[in-house]
Amino acid sequence: MATWVVRLCFAFVFVVNVQCALGFALTPEAYMGAYELAGVPGRVATQGIGIAFLMWNCTYPPVIWQPCRHRALAGVVLAQQIVGLVGESLIRATLPVGHDLLASSIDLFITFDAAGLLLMSASWGFLLLLERRAKQSALRQKTEISSC
């Protein structure tokens, strides 16, 4: 059951990330204004962000498919989420006054990345805790059987 919770949490973040990535890459005009970008350079920059989002999300499918087999990759996904959250927060903290639309756009990313980090790390931690308890229980049972 815990494995499925991990899959669902990582899959939820993955689907929202990919939806955002595809939006930026395929319809950049819809997002350029929120980042104070315009013209050809704005379109290309927005598409580049979308491509970067897609690259970032290549790590998710193996973890969603087999979380226990891809433990190190799950750690990479969580590290990526932390880097994104910290980076966005630093950008937001240094944003000068007068860029309200830009600030609110960054705030959305911060909110989603914080929620995603919480969901994924809580589910991953729960899975690891249950595995540890199962191993300890199996070890106790083995010890009890051998002492008979």
Mean pLDDT by 10-residue block, N- to C-terminus, for the chain (148 residues)? 94 97 97 95 97 95 96 96 97 96 96 97 95 82 67
The predicted pLDDT at position 17 comes to 96
The pTM for the full model equals: 0.86
In this predicted structure, what is the pLDDT of residue 40?
A: 97
pLDDT score, position 146: 66
pLDDT on residue 34? 94
Q: 């993955």: which residue's tokens?
A: 14
Please count the other Cβ atoms lying within 10 Å of the Cβ belonging to residue 4: 11
Expressed as residue numbers, the domain containing 141 is 2-146
DSSP per-residue letters across 8-52: HHHHHHHHHHHHHHHHHHH-THHHHGGGT--HHHHHHHHHHHHHH
Q: What tokens were used for 128?
A: 């690891």
Distance CA 61, CA 119 (A): 16
C-alpha distances out from residue 75 to 4, 22, 36, 67, 70, Å: 17, 25, 34, 10, 9
Q: Which two tokens stand for residue 92?
A: 């937001």
Whether residue 30 contacts residue 42, with contact meaning beta carbons closer than 8 Å, is answered with no
| Count of domains forming the chain | 1
Q: Whole-angstrom Cα distance, residue 93 to residue 106?
A: 10
CA distance 54 to 24: 10
